[in-house]
């Protein structure tokens, strides 16, 4: 699904009618949209299979499930969660293994491979003080371990561009190419262009798109910015 080089992933933290309206509005933007991110707001209300089914009736974008946050439990539960998610028709599943440890992370990646969905791992959150209860090098250790397990897609903050550079460099030292999906654009202070210049390949955008009067025009505007930033990026 990440055959795309660059793109926007709208975060649909809205009700199902609004989510379908946005999917309908952007469904023609094949170059700009790399996938749709769904999460707890939609799925706790309507159920994962229904949400995925409704979106796939409207458009054919990959659907990324961010349980906000999954992969925090014992390995056995995480394996079962991946199966449920895959059976619902999801294409990629985001894990946040901070605090769960490497056995849980391994179970997550193995289960995603078994059920043929793309594993995506959160390295670091966007909000201040997120790491108050974590060791200082938690993100770096999660990245190294995940790369060793075969993960190539990571979530890291658009509003901390220096961290994006660091993660890309760690992967480079291991002779691997990783894709970074970056939330934190707009209300959380990050710029889509500065994130892409620093190494983001995809920007995850919630409020800036779903609160816009014309979500389609906003997607096109953001894509223009990231496209220019990508062209001037030095790998």
3-state secondary structure 201-227: CEEEECHHHHCCCCHHHHHHHHHHHHH
Strand partners, 92: 64, 118
Of the candidates 28, 47, 128, 187, which one interacts with ligand C5P according to CB under 6 A? 187
Give yes or no for residue 125 binding ligand C5P (CB under 6 A): yes
List residues bridging with 160 in a β-sheet. none
- C-beta of 126: minimal distance to ligand C5P in Å? 4
126 is in an annotated binding site: yes
Nearer to ligand C5P, 68 or 102 (CB): 68
Q: How many of the chain's residues bind ligand C5P (CB under 6 A)?
A: 20
Determine which residue in the list 25, 38, 85, 122 makes contact with ligand C5P, applying CB under 6 A.
122
35 lines the binding site for ligand C5P (CB under 6 A): no
73 is in an annotated binding site: no
Contacts of range 227-233, beta carbons closer than 8 Å, 24 or more positions apart: 227/6, 228/193, 229/192, 229/193, 229/194, 229/196, 229/197, 230/5, 230/6, 230/196, 232/197, 233/196, 233/197, 233/199
CA angle, 148 as apex, 146 and 150 as ends, to 5°? 70
Is omega for the bond preceding 65 within 30 degrees of 0, making it cis?
no
Q: Report how far residue 155's alpha carbon sits from residue 219's, in angstroms, rounded to the nearest whole number.
A: 20
Residue where the block lists tokens 């989510």: 19
Q: Closer to ligand C5P at the Cβ: 75 or 186? A: 186
Binding residue for ligand C5P, selected from 97, 186, 191, 215, defined by CB under 6 A: 186
Please list every residue from 40 through 69 that binds ligand C5P, using CB under 6 A. 68
- 97, 119, 199, 206: which one binds ligand C5P (CB under 6 A): 206
CA dihedral 179, 201, 213, 220 (to 10 degrees): -130
Q: How far is the CB of 33 from ligand C5P (least distance, A)?
A: 15
Q: Which stretch binds ligand C5P (CB under 6 A): 28-36, 139-147, 186-194, 213-221?
A: 186-194
Q: Which of 102, 106, 188, 194 binds ligand C5P (CB under 6 A)?
A: 188
Instruction: Tell how far CA 57 is from the center of its chain.
Output: 22
Is 15 annotated as ligand-binding? yes
Q: Which residue is nearest to ligand C5P (CB)?
A: 206
Q: What character string, x for contact with ligand C5P (CB under 6 A) and - otherwise, covers 138-157? A: -----------------x-x
Shorter beta-carbon distance to ligand C5P: residue 76 or 98: 98
How many Å is the maximal CA-CA distance in the chain?
45
Contact at 8 Å (CB) between 153 and 118?
yes
List residues near ligand C5P by CB under 6 A.
11, 13, 39, 68, 122, 125-126, 155, 157, 183-188, 204-208
């Amino acid at each position: 699904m990440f055959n795309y080089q660059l793109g926007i992933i709208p975060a649909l933290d809205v009700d199902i009618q609004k989510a379908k309206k946005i999917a309908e509005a952007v469904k023609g933007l094949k170059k700009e949209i790399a996938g749709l991110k769904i999460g707890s707001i939609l799925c706790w209300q309507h159920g994962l299979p229904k949400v995925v089914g409704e979106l796939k009736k409207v458009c054919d974008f990959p659907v990324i499930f961010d349980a906000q946050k999954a992969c925090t439990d014992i390995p056995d539960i995480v394996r079962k969660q991946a199966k449920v998610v895959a059976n619902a028709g999801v294409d990629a599943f985001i894990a946040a293994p901070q605090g769960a440890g490497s056995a849980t992370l391994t179970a997550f990646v193995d289960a995603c491979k078994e059920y043929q969905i793309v594993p995506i791992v959160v390295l670091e959150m966007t909000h201040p003080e997120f790491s108050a209860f974590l060791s200082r090098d938690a993100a770096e250790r999660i990245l190294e371990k995940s790369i060793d397990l075969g993960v190539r897609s990571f979530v890291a903050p658009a509003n901390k561009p220096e961290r994006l550079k660091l993660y890309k460099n760690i992967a480079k030292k291991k002779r691997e190419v990783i894709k970074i999906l970056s939330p934190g654009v707009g209300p959380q202070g990050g710029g889509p262009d500065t994130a892409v210049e620093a190494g983001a390949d995809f920007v995850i955008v919630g409020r800036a798109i779903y609160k816009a009067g014309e979500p389609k025009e906003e997607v096109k505007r953001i894509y223009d910015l990231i496209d220019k930033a990508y062209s001037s990026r030095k790998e």
